[in-house]
């Protein structure tokens, strides 16, 4: 769970506990048991959504690492083939092999 959400859940639970313990004093101030139940349901929904996001972040992390490995392979292969063209052909001929000299 992210630290921000973890802190908010903890603070909200503490508040809910305090409000429930003194609900009889707070009813005339507009606090009801159904509101507290709704707040508790929202907290559970937040935790569930956060857990789903954590799972998605982990899946994304694995996919990003795999993509980075493929990207490195492509870059290495590109550089190797480019060196071959630059090593065997004059600069004027590089363009016909797809090697652009940007100097």
pLDDT digits (tens, 9 = 90+) for 79-97: 999 999 999 999 999 999 9
pLDDT digits (tens, 9 = 90+) for 19-47: 999 999 999 999 999 999 999 999 999 99
The full set of domain ranges for the chain reads 3-97
What is the pTM for the complete model shown?
0.69
What Cα–Cα distance (Å) separates residue 51 from each residue in 37, 39, 55, 101? Answer: 21, 18, 6, 49
Tell me what percent of the residues of the chain surpass a pLDDT of 90. 93
């Amino acid at each position: 769970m992210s630290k921000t959400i973890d802190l908010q859940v903890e603070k909200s639970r503490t508040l809910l506990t305090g409000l429930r313990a003194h609900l009889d004093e707070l009813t005339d101030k507009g606090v009801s048991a159904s509101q507290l139940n709704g707040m508790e349901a929202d907290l559970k929904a937040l935790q569930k959504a956060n857990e789903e996001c954590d799972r998605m972040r982990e899946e994304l992390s694995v996919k990003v690492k795999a993509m980075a490995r493929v990207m490195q392979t492509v870059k290495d292969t590109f550089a190797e083939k480019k060196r071959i063209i630059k090593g065997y052909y004059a600069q004027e001929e590089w363009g016909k092999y797809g090697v652009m000299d940007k100097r």
